Amino acid sequence: MSILGRNIAFLSTYPPRECGIATFTQDLVNEIKKIKLINFAGVIAINDHKRYDYDEDVIYEINQFEREDYLKLAEKLNESNVDLLIIEHEYGIFGGESGEYLLDLVDNLSIPFAVTVHTVLLNPNEKQLKILKELGQKSARVITMAKNTIPLLEKIYEIPSHKITFIPHGVPTLPVLPKETLKERYGFKGRRIISTFGLINPGKGIEYGIEAISMVAKKYKDVLYLILGQTHPNIKRLYGEEYREKLQKMVKDLGVEDNVRFVDKYLTKREILEYLKMSDIYMTPYLNKEQAVSGTLAYAAGLGKIIISTPYMYAEEILGNGRGLLADFRSAKSLAEKIEYVFEHPEARARMESEMKKLGSTMTWNNVAYRYVIMILSVLDVKSREEVVI
């Protein structure tokens, strides 16, 4: 049954499009549907160079690169029963320079909207700054998934603090088998497993991870580094498998074919959780200091994993207070030292896992969805009170 005045729609990429934000939105939508305080109106899906076979959640589609589609969407939403639009914002999923076509939508929208920011840049270019500043000014709420981005949103993007809401990245709660059972099932019995997963692209810094493993393998011959996931579709379209082939050549040149394995496929949620569960360490050797959120790191945190990462913004927040280990950017030696520290200090390992589990328990999708609903109700409550005054 529809709840009057509480119809919520999302603007985002959406599965089967292979994109982290698509998966994020689907997970959030699935949990929000279970909370009967609002009415899920549907998803407006953003297509790229092809059309997708969406499920019934998708009520409308726009072409990322067609400017006219953004104006048509504004008109459609203004004439609909949607009371609030939630925009999942990442510069690269909207058309125009740095995704500027999105401004055509918000400039012509007569219903309120909220924005979830998936990237908050410390040094934005002029266009990136303009876009997020305008979104912040015109939105009813800006949701960030990392507390340490709040000062950036306030100071750099001039978004009023009362508009900013912190809600963590959600993590799934599917039941999975014990670690050693999974290792045996996957053929990894007796191996010390380190993993990295996600859509592969040069910004992941995986070459430093491979070099670190070559150092660790001299002492721990049973170490196995799993590089999980396909090449990012945009990278593949432009450059083919150039980056993956470079990594594979590196593995061969370093003589660590027995210690590094590529799993070149788009993983299901269950596969992701199983690979993470059997991992002794999760590693993100990313290169971009400004990365404000990482769904892959959030998943690992949700499972209470030992995490070794370079100190990008999201990792600094999640791994703070002794929950994990930070290695230097672009330093295989630093990564290797942290890996060996975990292997050699079981008490420190147990302590970090315990602290990470405490944080991970607050990040389950049901908890996150409830916080979104509270935020949505507060926005709609303000809107309804303003309408009464008018």
- Residue 93 neighbours by CB under 8 Å, 6+ apart: 12, 13, 19, 21, 46, 64, 99
Whichever domain contains 336, its CATH number is 3.40.50.2000
State the average pLDDT for the chain.
94
- Same domain membership, residue 260 and residue 162: no
Residue 283: the pLDDT is 98
Is residue 1 in some structural domain? no
* Per-residue pLDDT band at 237 (split at 50, 70, 90): confident
pLDDT score at 162: 96
In this structure, is residue 221 part of a structural domain? yes
CA angle 369, 375, 379 (to 5 degrees): 140
In terms of domains, do 193 and 299 share one? yes
Looking at the predicted structure, is the pLDDT value of residue 317 above 80? yes
- pLDDT for residue 233 is more than 90: no
C-alpha pair distances (Å), 88 with each of 79, 113, 278: 22, 11, 31
Count how many Cα atoms sit within 13 Å of the Cα of residue 141 in the half-sphere of its side chain: 23
Residue 263 domain flag: yes
Question: Tell me: the pLDDT tens digits for 137-177?
Answer: 999 999 999 999 999 999 999 999 999 999 999 998 888 89
Instruction: Report whether pLDDT(4) > 70.
Output: no
Closest CA relative to residue 323, chosen from 362, 367, 291: 362
Residue 69 has pLDDT above 60, yes or no: yes
Task: Give the model's pLDDT for residue 383.
Answer: 60
Are 31 and 149 contained in the same domain? yes
Same domain, 76 and 109: yes
CA distance 136 to 130: 10
Indicate if 385 and 278 belong to the same structural domain: no
Does residue 297 carry a pLDDT above 80?
Answer: yes
Residue 383 included in any domain: yes
What are the pLDDT digits (tens) for 178-221?
999 999 999 999 999 999 998 898 989 999 999 999 999 999 99
- pLDDT of 22: 95
pLDDT in tens, 85-107: 999 999 999 999 999 999 999 99
For residue range 261-292, list pLDDT tens digits in order: 999 988 888 999 999 999 999 999 999 888 87
Q: Is the pLDDT of residue 334 over 90?
A: yes
Per the CB < 8 A criterion, the answer to whether 144 and 112 are in contact is no
Domain extent at residue 105: 7-170+364-389
Q: Do 15 and 74 share a domain, yes or no?
A: yes
Residues 262 and 224 in one domain: yes
Residues 336 and 380 in one domain: no
Residue 343 within any structural domain of the chain: yes
**Could you tell me if 62 and 105 lie in one domain?**
yes
> 163 and 58, same structural domain?
yes
Distance in angstroms (rounded) separating the CA atoms of residues 14 and 22: 4
Residue 290 pLDDT: 81
Residue with tokens 């315990």: 354
If one counts the domains in the chain, the total is 2
Residue 293 lies in a domain: yes
Flag whether 376 is in a domain. Answer: yes
In a domain, 2, yes or no: no
Q: Is the pLDDT of residue 1 over 50?
A: no
Say yes or no to pLDDT of 388 above 50: no
Mark whether 330 and 232 lie in a shared domain: yes
End-to-end CA distance of the chain: 29
- Please check whether residues 227 and 352 belong to one and the same domain: yes
